[in-house]
Amino acid sequence: MSGEHGSDLAAKELDKAAEAMPSTSGSEEQRFLQEASDWYLQWLGVNDQLLKSNAIGTDRVLVIVFSESPDVERERLEKIGTMDERIYRGGHDPEIHGAVIATQNMRNIVRIRAGFGSLNQAITVCCKELKDSDTFIIIPLAQRRILVHLAGAPLVSWGDEPPSLPIGNGATEVTPDRIDKDIGIFHDEGLRYAKNPLAQMVWKGKQHPYEFLQDPERRIQSYLLLTLRHSYKHLNATVDEEVVGKGGRCDIRVEWDGKAVPTTRVSSMIELKVLVHSNGPTANLEWALSGVQQASKYRGSNSVAAFACIFDGRKDQSDQMSSLDVEASKLDVRLRRYAMEAPVGAVKAPKKGKKAAAPSKASAKPRVAPRSDKAKPKASDKVAESAPKRRGRPPKSAPGSSSA
């Protein structure tokens, strides 16, 4: 076979392989979160026996800060640590802890700190020395969970209740119903109420009622993808982000071994949409409807279910947009609505049976300046002036008058 024909064949094989492989088009930040969480899952597998024998202490904490240029970023993070140690991804060293800087594919990892005294110290250092614009994760290595900070989330409140994504192993099988249930739990525990940890990483806060941080769909997608990936990894399930399909790119795809034919993989497609109060009724309806249609459009040949997940951040959620149900039923899409409570400051109403407090005399009647054309003082007034002045605050001079 000639070199030319060989190169042509190799190119065709690579193209075919590329079509079969999941394609991730998310941001560098999103890919970093996936790669870092995958690395931790692999680390857990390699060090399973050590973990079971309690050989890895609870004080082993690893902070991974995302950077496109770790070597350059070291200077900015010198207050965290000044080490310069190259860490190899495939080593899965049980002694690795402290703070590292890593690229999105976890191929360039530089350790800048050897360790922390506790998880609390790691959180304290991150909140003090990192910026809101930093993306990082904190891994208590023996606890099988990851604390996630996405760029833009305010660190001043993040440290109080950092979003924690557990590495689950409770699920015994993956099915569309199981996925449906797990998305519901994700919403109930993370986004339903304003006080939930994930909700605080999506909303701006009480000072900006009904306003999201930048790109709320990306934030919810990133958290949900990691949650599902951690929940199903032990079941040989694959959770991809924005997979290329016949109709375009879907937010999340879950793929696992089918029951009837074990060698055949089956999948479910999940499309997310967030309704924003400021967009108005018409735009929100169109956006939600596009989510239903896209979920159906992205369905692959091996798909057994398609989900349209509508996260509702509107002030008035009474309009449930019944036309969505009609479209979802026609396209065989599982439509799910998830209400989100916004962090709005409560206005205290006056108690029943009590009138509002009347304004004080001082506030009810404006102070009137004394007249400048006073009458001539009486003799009695002169006597009063010669008497000792009463202790206390001296009277103010009349506007425009001058002191003697």
Element (H or E) spanning 292, and its range? helix 281-297
pLDDT score, position 385 = 44
Residue 248 pLDDT level (bands cut at 50, 70, 90): low
Residue 249 pLDDT level (bands cut at 50, 70, 90): confident
Question: Are 269 and 246 within one domain?
Answer: yes
Q: Let me know the angle formed at the C-alpha of 202 by 196 and 204, rounded to the nearest 5 degrees.
A: 105
Say if 390 falls within a structural domain.
no
Task: Provide the pairing of β-strand 98-102 with 61-66.
Answer: parallel
276 has pLDDT over 90: yes
Residue 262 pLDDT level (bands cut at 50, 70, 90): low
Count of residues in the chain: 404
- Segments forming the whole domain that contains residue 263: 168-348
* Domain boundary pick from 348, 378, 394: 348
252-256, 291-295, 364-368, 396-400: which range is least confident on average?
A: 396-400
Question: Are 109 and 174 within one domain?
Answer: no
Q: How far apart are CA 349 and CA 375, in angstroms?
A: 51
Question: Are 249 and 124 within one domain?
Answer: no
Give the SS3 label for residue 112.
strand
Question: Are 132 and 197 within one domain?
Answer: no
Q: How far apart are CA 36 and CA 31, in angstroms?
A: 8
Please give the model's pTM, rounded to 2 decimal places: 0.71
Q: For the domain that residue 44 is a member of, what is the CATH number?
A: 3.40.1700
Percent of the chain at pLDDT > 90 equals: 57
* Domain boundary pick from 122, 137, 167: 167
Question: Are 175 and 267 within one domain?
Answer: yes
Say if 376 falls within a structural domain.
no
pLDDT score, position 17 = 39
Element (H or E) spanning 229, and its range? helix 216-232
Say if 135 falls within a structural domain.
yes
Question: Are 217 and 306 within one domain?
Answer: yes
pLDDT in tens, 57-76: 888 999 999 999 998 889 99
Question: Are 201 and 107 within one domain?
Answer: no
366 has pLDDT over 80: no
3 has pLDDT over 80: no
Say if 320 falls within a structural domain.
yes
Question: Are 181 and 123 within one domain?
Answer: no
Say if 322 falls within a structural domain.
yes
* Domain boundary pick from 323, 348, 373: 348
Q: How far apart are CA 33 and CA 399, in angstroms?
A: 67
Q: How far apart are CA 320 and CA 15, in angstroms?
A: 45
Q: For the domain that residue 321 is a member of, what is the CATH number?
A: 3.40.1350
Question: Are 187 and 260 within one domain?
Answer: yes
Question: Are 149 and 210 within one domain?
Answer: no
Question: Are 158 and 193 within one domain?
Answer: no
Number of independent structural domains in the chain: 2
Which residues contact residue 248 at a Cβ distance below 8 angstroms, ignoring those fewer than 6 apart? 294, 297, 298
Say if 275 falls within a structural domain.
yes
